[in-house]
Amino acid sequence: MAGSPVGDSRFILPSPLARELAETYQTPLYVIDERHFRERIRRTRSAAGSVWPGAEISFAAKANSTLAVLSIAVQEGCLIDAASEGELRAALLAGAEPSRCHLHGNNKTSAEIEYAMEVGVGSIVVDNFDELNRIFTLAQSHRCPDLLLRLAPGVDPITHEKISTGQADTKFGFNIVNGAAGRAVRVATGLSLPLVGFHCHVGSQLMDAEAQKSGAEVLARFVVDMWRDQGFVAKALNVGGGLGIRYTDADDPVSIEDYYREVSGAVAGAIREYGFELKLIHEPGRSLVGESGVTLYRIGTVKTVPVTEDLNRTYVCVDGGLADNPRPALYGAKYTVLHIPDRTKQMGEAKEQAVPGMARGEFDTTYTISGRHCETDTLFRDILLPDDVEEGDLVQVLCTGAYNASMASNYNRYPRPAAVLIREDGSHELVQRRETWEEMFAREILPGGRDE
């Protein structure tokens, strides 16, 4: 993709285009590269389909539910995994067929389930016994879509605890070890609900396939157990997502091809001798869109403070932070940050390289990049940048296509950023306006009826 160094799978904005976007749309600014995103989906679908014919890719909308992003995923043949009514409504607005969507979530309300039934979703991933009861009640007056039971396979992945979901001690799904999963199959079939299979997801930002492979194998063995014990024949298996991306040079995720070969192989190995004809579904989000996006910030204050008698720290403060990227605060997430000078400083235009971070050669100062919010709000610690960064310069943060726009808030009453799509022909298009002050306050009412 344009601007990326050889061998780097991440999308990187060339400096001239970064400056143009920042000037046109202001900062902070989310940027998604359409070509990169489409190619990532195509490579993933090819990898999954080559080892399991007919395998489906379901884009996890929670990663980025911007309508433009969902629309591209739909155009590229993805199913859509919606974790709420809001994400489902976004998918439908983006052009998804209801039958190509499924509703997820660990605490669905009756209203959410009823809405999903009314619009005709393809399936609902059921999380608990209370939900089975709600579905049964609603199925008396609505067409019930196919159901998959979400299972907790008892797999504890190597990742941050806040994005681990497959271990036994989890709020998600029916536990296999304590018998809840088998009991859920009996309940669903006993109620004549249209149960078609099972789902699991062990966690996110996985650098290898081991945890997801283990989860998929446990799931496949459960298919065999339910056939033996209850005569239930599963038709579909959703093995979740979780493949990580290269946020920094220290990250080295397994290749897309190896990941899907190993996970699919684990399922095949567990059911091969039984002749089950299973539709296999994968549910990636981050690995599809994460590396396709960057965020642009403009530098404001640069401040050096004492840490100890012999050590100082220099803070580079940018015009965003916790409200547009909460992941560093939530997970200690690390990113790659590249510097884009506000002007060509004593280099001459002809000498400037297209790729930021490459233009000046030596990186010779360590900075802490902080946000503008009333918290410590450390975004990126120990970042190497040129020693002459100053107010007005830009930085771009790589791999922010996932879990940035979708987690943005109005903390400290900052408007949520705009989002821009770099089209396949190189043009750029606004796909999400920067929030206005009027929009921010539109839903609030002063007591006593003074709502002007």
Distance of alpha carbon 227 from alpha carbon 234, whole angstroms = 8
Q: Are 172 and 165 in contact (CB under 8 A)?
A: yes
Confirm whether 317 is a catalytic residue. Answer: no
Amino acid at 287: S
CB-CB neighbours of 218 under 10 Å: 22
Distance of alpha carbon 25 from alpha carbon 27, whole angstroms = 7
Backbone angles phi, psi at 407, to 5 degrees: -110, 10
| Number of alpha carbons in the 13 Å side-chain half-sphere of residue 173 | 29
Distance of alpha carbon 221 from alpha carbon 51, whole angstroms = 19
Q: Which of 144, 200, 317, 374 is catalytic?
A: 374
75 contacts: CB under 8 Å, gap ≥ 6: 95
Residue 221: helix, strand or coil by DSSP?
Answer: helix
What is the per-residue DSSP string for 420-431? Answer: EEE-TTS-EEEE
Q: Are 193 and 144 in contact (CB under 8 A)?
A: yes
What is the DSSP-derived secondary structure letter of residue 324? T
In 3D space, the residue among 379, 335, 302, 295 whose CA is nearest the CA of residue 18 turns out to be 295
Residues taking part in catalysis? 374
